[in-house]
Amino acid sequence: MTTTKELRLISYGSTSIGRVRPINEDAFLRDDHLRLYAVADGVGGQPAGEVASATALRELAKFLKFYSAAAGDRSVATMLMAVRKVADAVLEHGQSDVRYRGMATTLTACWITQHRVILGHVGDSQGFLLRAGKIKQITVDHTVAGELINRGVSAQHPMMKSALSHMLTQSLGPEPLNNPQVCEIELKHQDILLLCSDGLTRETAPAEVANVLRQSPAPEQAVEELLRLANERGGHDNATAVLVKAL
């Protein structure tokens, strides 16, 4: 029997409070041993966003670490189970203390095994794959605009320019989870995965992000340059990025 050799990974993650927000409600997870990477963005306007994002990442790592040790199964079904467990944990934590009532967070997570990426995603943080110099968004935006695009509505529709277009249609915390995005993606040699909060993507265009990823020789240089750009453009929100490169 032959086994597929796992790709070697190098990674880096960082976060910035930005120039406007009083606290940083973003959080990131970078576990090279578990090969688990994630970004969570506490929902602004709701209480304790920083508690929600930290809770989500702590519970995600806890569940997948235990499941890996017990069963060793890395699959889409496992990730779906994990995301649902995380959603329940954030909801329960929010109901346990009046200070946290209604707290919510996004979650974008990648769990890597051999030549596969198991993706779990809820909300408007985003995941990108850079392959052969071309960038592709691998997450679906759980926003009003994202839902309209999925239904075939033109990007020129007035609702796309409305303030409501960025409203989340799904998050972890305030109510039982509906329909998270969970899928499997092939990972190839020299591929780059970028997970980031919307504080980065609202300040930078995908082509600009791709250019930084192509030109930066190391993950830490790429991530720090992207965060610098977000702050240079105004830093209107917390910005967080985790980059993983397959070697």
Identify which of 59-68, 72-81, 146-155, 224-233 has the greatest average pLDDT: 224-233
pTM of the model as a whole = 0.94
Average pLDDT score over residue span 59-72? 87
Q: Is the pLDDT of residue 132 over 50?
A: yes
Q: Which residue has the tokens 């994002």?
A: 53
For residue 144, tell me if it sits in a domain. Answer: yes
Q: Is residue 94 in a domain? A: yes
Asked whether residue 2 is domain-assigned, the answer is no
Mean pLDDT of the chain: 92
1 within some domain: no
Q: Which residue has the higher pLDDT, 34 or 158?
A: 34
Q: Which residue has the higher pLDDT, 88 or 151?
A: 88
For position 67, what pLDDT does the model report? 83
Number of separate domains in the chain = 1
Write the DSSP assignment of the chain as a string of letters: ---PPPPPEEEEEEEE--SS-SS--EEEEEETTTTEEEEEEBPTTSTTHHHHHHHHHHHHHHHHHHHHHHT---SHHHHHHHHHHHHHHHHHHHHH-GGGTT--B-EEEEEEETTEEEEEEESS-EEEEEETTEEEE-S---BHHHHHHHTT--TTSGGGGSGGGG-BS--BSSS-----EEEEEE--TT-EEEEE-HHHHTTS-HHHHHHHHHH-SSHHHHHHHHHHHHHHTT--S-EEEEEEEE-
Residue 4: pLDDT band with limits 50, 70, 90: low
Cβ distance 194 to 213 under 8 Å? yes
Q: What is the pLDDT of residues 85-123, one digit of tens each?
A: 999 999 999 999 999 999 999 999 999 998 999 999 999
Per-residue pLDDT at 80 exceeds 70: yes
Q: Report yes or no: 35 and 91 within 8 Å, Cβ to Cβ.
A: no
Confidence band of 166 (pLDDT split at 50, 70, 90): confident
- The answer to whether residue 234 is domain-embedded is yes
Structure confidence by residue, pLDDT tens digits, 179-235: 999 999 999 999 999 999 999 999 999 999 999 999 999 999 999 999 999 999 999
pLDDT reported for residue 161: 61
Residue 40 located in a structural domain:
yes
CB-neighbour burial class of residue 20 (10 A; exposed 0-12, middle 13-18, buried 19+): exposed
CB 90 within 8 A of CB 84: no
Which range scores top for mean pLDDT: 70-74, 174-178, 216-220?
Answer: 216-220
Stretch 73-81: mean pLDDT:
91
175: domain CATH number is 3.60.40.10
Tokens of 179: 């329909």
What is the predicted pLDDT for the residue at 1?
43
3-state DSSP of 218-246? CHHHHHHHHHHHHHHCCCCCCEEEEEEEE
Q: Is 145 within a domain?
A: yes
**Is residue 64 one of the residues assigned to a domain?**
yes
What integer pLDDT is reported at residue 2 of this predicted model?
A: 46
How many residues are present in the chain?
Answer: 247
Average pLDDT over residues 153-166: 63
Q: Nearest 5°: CA angle at 244, between 243 and 245?
A: 125
The residues, ordered by sequence, that sit 6+ positions from 95 with a Cβ below 8 Å of its Cβ are: 101
d(CA 55, CA 194): 22
Range of the domain at 206: 9-246
